[in-house]
């Protein structure tokens, strides 16, 4: 039995402190290929630092706002895609679904005179129905999701074109809360209050978790690590809220004194969506089953997981979230174009999720991936457009975004190989 002893993994050593044990565990997980959000976070810091150095004003309040409202639709869509990607599926039509839902909303609002909130609800409902149909086709008809969503990608583009019609776009009336989402700002005091609630809630949750584990006699995250994480979140939050508090409206005179200060409302929406989806994925039975089906469908079925229902549900969530993303995009543009959600919309969102660390092969990914990856994509697009002026600027933007995506996907593949080896 000597060989047995030698084969054993190293035992937990009680000698070191809880903190050093935690760090050892973390490093072991890193070596094992469980990188978490580390690469995306490092990437985000590096490219942000790069653009901040080469381009004065990249981190100015004005540009920061632009960056956030550009990133918002990408991040929202990526959040929905994480669910689908966790099952190893793909939704190529998330972009055009969002476009279609925003077009339906706009048509009901403008041409049929519906109340704005009813129009929004209708748009969201259409998103859910689309998701259910595609999920059903995948789960019960057994058509590969790539094909289903490629078909709907094309078809919805057409429906949007028909709905919006010849004039090419439907202008949304200023002043509705929908427009305000991307274009008006949270009052300064409220911004600070919300930040406080977020940070205190985060800290309380982490500390309660650790206390519960300790009282259950299980190894818990050391308080020092929790404090470090909370301080990190608080510092970023405070810096962001402070800078968003700077007035960005330069034309202020006796007649025209509108101030543009405070964070855009969409930040609140992002935080809400993030908290809800993160909670569902990480703390509920449903979330556990999503990971399980993505990891091993057969094992999940034998364990009693309703695999088909899970599969349909992720498409519903993805398309529903895509509808939200479409509405956010409409808010950003203050209109719905006849090509809404077509082109690069979906690809940027998939890119965001993958850059954030979500695997295209299923089973691995978290909600934070969508946020970090979406920020990386937005920073690249924003930074490149400032950096390279002239006729070819958007060309370079595309090349760099593609390069980063390939890098992230390649990274994913290498990590996977490391894990299976």
Partner 1 sequence: MKTLELKGVGKSFGPVVALRSVDFSAAAGDVTALVGDNGAGKSTMVKCIGGIYRIDEGEILLDGTAQHLHEPRDAAHLGIEIVHQDLALCDNLDVVGNMFLGREKIGRFHTLDENEMEQLAGQTLASLSVRTVRSVRQKVASLSGGQRQTVAIAKSVLWSSKIVILDEPTAALGVAQTEQVLDLVRRLADRGVAVVLVSHNMNDVMKVADSIAVLFLGRMAAQVRRSEVNQTQVVELITSGRSGDLGLPGAETIGAST
By CB under 8 A, tell whether 1 contacts partner 1: yes
Closest by CA position to 367, among listed 11, 1, 36, 21: 36
Least spacing, CB of residue 310 vs partner 1, in Å: 12
Residue 272: what are its φ and ψ, rounded to 5°? -60, -50
Closer to partner 1 by Cβ: residue 12 or 112: 12
Least spacing, CB of residue 203 vs partner 1, in Å: 18
Closer to partner 1 by Cβ: residue 162 or 414: 414
> Do 341 and 102 meet the contact criterion of CB atoms below 8 Å apart?
yes
Binding mask 304-333 for partner 1 (x = CB under 8 A): xx----------------------------
Which residues between 45 and 104 bind partner 1 (CB under 8 A)?
A: none
Q: Where are the beta strands (DSSP E) in 127-283?
A: 169-171
Closer to partner 1 by Cβ: residue 82 or 404: 82
Rounded Cα gap, residues 294 and 220, in angstroms: 28
Closer to partner 1 by Cβ: residue 88 or 180: 88
Rounded Cα gap, residues 421 and 404, in angstroms: 26
Which residues between 366 and 405 bind partner 1 (CB under 8 A)?
A: none
Closer to partner 1 by Cβ: residue 215 or 257: 215
Least spacing, CB of residue 85 vs partner 1, in Å: 13
Closer to partner 1 by Cβ: residue 7 or 256: 7
Q: How far is CA 388 from the centre of its chain?
A: 27
Least spacing, CB of residue 275 vs partner 1, in Å: 14
> Do 375 and 79 meet the contact criterion of CB atoms below 8 Å apart?
no
Least spacing, CB of residue 197 vs partner 1, in Å: 18
Binding mask 268-307 for partner 1 (x = CB under 8 A): ---------------xxx--xx-xx-xxx-xxx-xxxx--
Binding mask 159-198 for partner 1 (x = CB under 8 A): ----------------------------------------
Rounded Cα gap, residues 224 and 368, in angstroms: 22
Rounded Cα gap, residues 79 and 278, in angstroms: 9
What is the SS3 assignment for 12?
A: coil
Of 216, 251, 254, 391, the one binding partner 1 by CB under 8 A: 216
Binding mask 122-161 for partner 1 (x = CB under 8 A): ----------------------------------------
By CB under 8 A, tell whether 364 contacts partner 1: yes
Q: How many residues bind partner 1 (CB under 8 A)?
A: 38
Region class of 201: left (phi > 0), else alpha (psi between -120 and 50), else beta:
alpha
Binding mask 11-30 for partner 1 (x = CB under 8 A): xx------------x-----
Least spacing, CB of residue 220 vs partner 1, in Å: 10
Least spacing, CB of residue 402 vs partner 1, in Å: 28
Residue 11 DSSP symbol:
P
By CB under 8 A, tell whether 421 contacts partner 1: no
Region class of 20: left (phi > 0), else alpha (psi between -120 and 50), else beta:
alpha
Q: Where does this chain touch partner 1 (CB under 8 A) — which range of 72-80, 187-195, 213-221, 256-264?
A: 213-221
Rounded Cα gap, residues 274 and 72, in angstroms: 12
Number of neighbours of residue 256 by Cβ within 10 angstroms:
8
Q: Which long-range contacts (CB under 8 A, 24 or more apart) does 286-290 make?
A: 286/310, 286/313, 290/83, 290/86, 290/87, 290/314
Of 180, 222, 245, 363, the one binding partner 1 by CB under 8 A: 363
DSSP 220-252: ---HHHHHHHHHHHHHHHHHHHHHHTS------
Least spacing, CB of residue 24 vs partner 1, in Å: 11
DSSP 314-350: HHHHHHHHHHHHHHHHHHHHTEEETTTT-TTHHHHHH
Instruction: Name the residues that contact partner 1, by CB under 8 A.
Output: 1, 3-4, 7-12, 25, 32, 34, 212-213, 216-218, 283-285, 288-289, 291-292, 294-296, 298-300, 302-305, 363-364, 419-420
């Amino acid at each position: 039995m000597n060989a047995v002893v030698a084969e054993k993994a190293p035992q937990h050593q009680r000698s070191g402190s809880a903190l050093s044990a935690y760090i050892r565990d973390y490093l072991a997980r890193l070596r094992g290929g469980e990188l978490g959000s580390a690469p995306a976070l490092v990437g985000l810091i590096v490219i942000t630092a790069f653009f901040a150095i080469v381009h004065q004003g990249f981190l100015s309040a004005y540009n920061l706002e632009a960056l956030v409202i550009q990133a918002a639709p990408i991040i929202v869509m990526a959040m929905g895609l994480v669910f689908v990607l966790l099952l190893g599926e793909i939704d190529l039509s998330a972009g055009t679904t969002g476009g279609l839902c925003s077009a339906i909303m706009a048509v009901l609002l403008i041409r049929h005179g519906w109340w704005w909130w009813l129009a929004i609800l209708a748009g969201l409902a259409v998103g859910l129905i689309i998701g259910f149909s595609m999920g059903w086709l995948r789960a019960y008809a057994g058509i590969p999701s790539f094909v289903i969503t490629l078909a709907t990608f094309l078809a919805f583009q057409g429906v949007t074109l028909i709905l919006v019609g010849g004039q090419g776009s439907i202008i949304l009336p200023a002043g509705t809360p929908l427009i305000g989402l991307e274009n008006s700002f949270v009052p300064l005091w409220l911004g600070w209050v919300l930040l406080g609630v977020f940070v205190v809630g985060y800290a309380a949750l982490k500390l309660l978790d650790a206390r519960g584990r300790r009282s259950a006699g299980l190894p818990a995250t050391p308080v020092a690590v929790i404090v470090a994480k909370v301080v990190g979140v608080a510092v970023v939050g405070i810096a962001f809220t402070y800078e968003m508090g700077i007035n960005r409206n330069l034309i202020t005179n006796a007649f025209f004194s509108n101030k543009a200060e405070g964070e855009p409302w969409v930040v609140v929406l992002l935080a809400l969506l993030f908290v809800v989806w993160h909670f569902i994925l990480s703390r509920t039975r449903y979330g556990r089953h999503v990971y399980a089906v993505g990891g091993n469908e057969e094992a999940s079925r034998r364990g009693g997981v309703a695999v088909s229902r899970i599969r349909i549900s992720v498409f519903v969530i993805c398309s529903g979230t895509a509808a939200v993303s479409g509405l956010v995009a409409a808010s950003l543009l203050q209109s719905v174009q006849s090509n809404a959600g077509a082109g690069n919309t979906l690809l940027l969102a998939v890119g965001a999720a993958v850059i954030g660390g979500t695997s295209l092969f299923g089973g691995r990914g978290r909600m934070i991936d969508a946020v970090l990856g979406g920020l990386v994509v937005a920073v690249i697009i924003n930074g490149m457009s400032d950096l390279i002026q002239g006729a070819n600027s958007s060309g370079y933007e595309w090349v760099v975004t593609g390069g980063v995506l390939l890098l992230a996907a390649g990274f994913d593949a290498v990590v996977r190989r490391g894990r299976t080896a």
